[in-house]
């Protein structure tokens, strides 16, 4: 039985020591001061980061006048190809640049909707024996010419915004000086008498 009181005494001493006064921790004042300084610097850095950046105001646009449009021709005629063949046998390969005698005033109407290069070949029926070709280029409205009287064949190159094609007409004979009308259209070239 002597052992029992020692065990009880030991248990009581453990219980009493557990309920005893608490020990006070030691405070390191330097650590508290360093923590406070670090927190202050962190807050200052965060405040500085939150300040908006100084964005410059965009410049006011200045008026720059647009230069006036330069007119450009709608159609530039392509020169007809030259040939090294003997042109004396074919009158349409010789240019008709001058003549004397009776002439006809001709109005050329363009019904193609595009730009036209027209070649008219005087091949016969002329009292003075003139032969050769006259070429002209014009836009949608048409043009006018003065030609010697006689019979012509006509060939036109047409250039529209959608396509390019050729059209032709034959036996366009003018026998008086009145105003004749040549109509260029997709289906052919026709002569309308005065």
The residue range of the domain holding 134 is 91-192
What is the pLDDT, as a whole number, of residue 184?
92
Global pTM value: 0.53
Establish if 84 belongs to a structural domain: no
Cα–Cα–Cα angle for 135, 138, 140, rounded to 5 degrees: 145
Of 55-64, 100-109, 152-161, 167-176, the one with minimum mean pLDDT is 55-64
What is the pLDDT, as a whole number, of residue 14?
77
Establish if 80 belongs to a structural domain: no
Establish if 75 belongs to a structural domain: no
Q: What percent of the chain has pLDDT over 90?
A: 12
Establish if 13 belongs to a structural domain: no
- Count of domains in the chain? 1
In this prediction, residue 130 has a pLDDT band, given cuts at 50, 70 and 90, of confident
SS3 at position 179:
strand
What is the pLDDT, as a whole number, of residue 183?
92
**Cα 28 to Cα 8, 31, 35, 40, 41, distances in angstroms:** 41, 6, 11, 19, 21
């Amino acid at each position: 039985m002597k052992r029992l009181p020692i065990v009880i005494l030991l248990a009581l001493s453990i219980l009493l020591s557990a309920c005893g006064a608490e020990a006070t921790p030691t405070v390191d004042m330097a650590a508290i001061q360093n923590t406070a300084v670090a927190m202050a610097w962190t807050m200052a850095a965060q405040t500085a980061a939150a300040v908006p950046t100084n964005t410059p105001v965009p410049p006011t646009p200045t008026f720059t006048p647009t230069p006036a449009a330069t007119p450009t021709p709608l159609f530039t005629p392509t020169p007809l190809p030259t040939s090294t063949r003997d042109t004396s046998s074919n009158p349409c390969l010789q240019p008709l640049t001058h003549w004397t005698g009776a002439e006809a005033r001709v109005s050329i109407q363009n019904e193609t909707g595009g730009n036209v290069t027209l070649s008219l070949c005087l091949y016969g029926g002329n009292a003075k024996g003139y032969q050769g070709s006259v070429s002209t280029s014009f836009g949608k409205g048409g043009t006018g010419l003065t030609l010697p009287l006689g019979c012509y064949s006509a060939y036109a190159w047409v250039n529209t915004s959608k396509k390019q094609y050729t059209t032709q007409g034959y036996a366009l004979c003018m026998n008086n000086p009145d105003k004749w009308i040549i109509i260029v259209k997709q289906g052919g070239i026709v002569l309308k008498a005065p």
